[in-house]
């Protein structure tokens, strides 16, 4: 069987094994499998090891079990009207953005489907798509599926701010989209108003669509420099931008795969056109529970943020004591740490050693970037590891003591 074209792209480099000609699972699944194989504490994949709120899960269970509904049959492709109303209400309450739930909100099977449908809707074949790097790995794969080319602007340590001048320099006549993720995975950067305004200005000037992935919107810590702001609250953004959210991240129910997309009727309609041929629709009971949660989170967002911040601080401290150079995240689930004080070897190799010898799994950031050439091997992004802190205190303590014991043995 010949290699599908997208496997020859930069995204393919992370999942295609040229020796055996097989497609590998994503870095997240591979890391989880390695963690299980070595009995390692899994700080690789970004999922909480504590369930989301019991009341929310109860609402979904009741919705599946009662005849009062919603039914267990196909929901509308755009999502139930009350789900879309709840998203619109949420965007108004948190960001002051007015959306018509009839045609400016779309349900998606996780943010992942909204991302896929947006890129397939707006990235012209042969065009270029710009993203900040590192990036959520599905961006690279879907840009390749769309027949477009991903170009990146790196976020650099220690503060990982977006370099808007570099973005401006990277835009060309061929650019069809800019992919933004704020709060950002894995750096935790929250884009400021000034950064957003400049990105929107650029997009308008060049006629490109902005996709803003905002799944970590409710995970911004109280010491962040700026609050999160949805792209649609930036003046002029409604003509060029779509924004994406996720109940999975906001309510610690990552398996539910309830996402949404907001934007102008024209842009939402274009994305809907693709989405109806992906999943078409999903999860009526989860839509019901997520809608209730979006209307009233019953204090969960604040509680969750406080818990995550404690986890972040403890993991930072533990990594620093173990000899890593760890960077404070303003938001999200992850701490990035540079291993060069311990070893000159690239993070991809250190991650294997950590899982095997320390018993802790982490993700090398190089799997969330375009592949580096030999000359670029010294790039700092090749030396960063991503550790998830969205775990129970005892899980983090176990990981920290393993990392420190490993560091002492070296």
Ligand X SMILES: Cc1ncc(COP(=O)(O)O)c(C=O)c1O
Q: Where along the sequence are the contacts to ligand X (CB under 6 A)?
A: 46, 110-112, 136, 181, 185, 213, 215, 246, 248, 254, 257, 259
CB nearer to ligand X: give 12 or 259.
259
- Closest separation in Å from C-beta 409 to ligand X: 32
- Closest separation in Å from C-beta 109 to ligand X: 8
- Closest separation in Å from C-beta 317 to ligand X: 24
**Residue-by-residue DSSP string for 263-319:** --HHHHHHHHHHHTTTT----HHHHHHHHHHHH--TTHHHHHHHHHHHHHHHHHHHH
Secondary structure class of 61 (helix, strand, coil) = helix
- Closest separation in Å from C-beta 46 to ligand X: 5
CB nearer to ligand X: give 248 or 359.
248
- Closest separation in Å from C-beta 218 to ligand X: 13
Residue 26 tokens, joined: 């994503």
What residue ranges in 7-127 does DSSP mark as E strands? 16-17, 22-23, 41-42, 105-109
CB nearer to ligand X: give 16 or 135.
135
CB nearer to ligand X: give 127 or 246.
246
CB nearer to ligand X: give 322 or 336.
336
Alpha carbons within 13 A on the beta-carbon side of 120: 19
CA distance 245 to 148: 24
Which residue, 270, 230, 245, 276, is CA-closest to 122? 270
Residue 230, CA distances (Å) to 62, 108, 281, 377, 409 in order: 32, 18, 25, 35, 46
CA distance 373 to 383: 14
- Closest separation in Å from C-beta 304 to ligand X: 16
- Closest separation in Å from C-beta 92 to ligand X: 22
Position with the least CB separation from ligand X: 110
Number of Cβ within a 10 Å radius of residue 127: 19
Residue 270 tokens, joined: 């274009």
CB nearer to ligand X: give 44 or 248.
248
CB nearer to ligand X: give 48 or 248.
248
């Amino acid at each position: 069987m010949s290699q599908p074209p997208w496997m020859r792209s930069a995204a393919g480099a992370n999942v295609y094994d040229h020796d055996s000609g097989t497609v590998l699972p994503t870095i997240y699944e591979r890391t989880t499998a390695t963690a299980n194989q070595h009995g390692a504490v899994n700080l690789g994949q970004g999922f909480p090891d504590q369930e989301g709120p019991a009341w929310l899960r109860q609402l979904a269970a009741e919705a599946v079990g009662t005849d009062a509904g919603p039914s267990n049959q196909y929901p509308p492709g755009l999502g139930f009207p009350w789900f879309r109303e709840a998203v619109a209400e949420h965007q108004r309450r948190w960001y002051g953005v007015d959306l018509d739930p009839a045609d400016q909100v779309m349900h998606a099977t996780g943010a992942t489907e909204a991302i896929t449908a947006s890129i397939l809707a707006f990235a012209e074949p042969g065009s270029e798509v710009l993203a900040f790097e590192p990036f959520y790995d599905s961006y690279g794969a879907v840009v390749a599926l769309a027949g477009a080319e991903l170009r990146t602007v790196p976020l650099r340590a220690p503060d990982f701010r977006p370099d808007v001048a570099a973005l401006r320099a990277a835009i060309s006549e061929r650019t069809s989209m800019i992919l933004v993720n704020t709060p950002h995975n894995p750096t935790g950067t929250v884009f400021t108003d000034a950064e957003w305004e400049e990105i929107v200005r650029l997009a308008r000037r060049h006629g490109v669509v902005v996709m803003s992935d905002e799944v970590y919107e409710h995970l911004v810590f109280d010491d962040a420099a700026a609050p999160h702001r949805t792209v649609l609250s930036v003046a002029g953004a409604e003509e060029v931008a779509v924004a994406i959210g996720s109940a999975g991240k906001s309510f610690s129910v990552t398996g539910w795969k309830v996402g949404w997309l907001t934007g102008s009727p024209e842009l939402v309609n274009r994305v809907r056109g693709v989405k109806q041929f992906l999943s078409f629709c999903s999860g009526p009971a989860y839509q019901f529970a997520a809608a209730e949660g979006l209307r009233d989170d019953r204090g969960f967002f604040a509680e969750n943020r406080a818990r995550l911040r404690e986890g972040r601080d403890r993991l930072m401290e533990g990594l620093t004591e173990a000899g890593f150079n760890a960077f404070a995240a303003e938001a999200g689930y992850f701490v990035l740490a540079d291993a060069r004080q311990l070893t000159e070897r690239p993070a991809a190799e250190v991650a294997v050693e950590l899982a095997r010898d320390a018993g802790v799994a982490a993700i090398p950031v190089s799997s969330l970037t375009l592949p580096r050439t030999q000359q670029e091997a010294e790039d700092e992004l090749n030396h960063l590891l991503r550790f998830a802190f969205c775990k129970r205190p005892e899980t983090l303590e176990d990981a920290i003591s393993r990392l420190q014991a490993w560091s002492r043995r070296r």
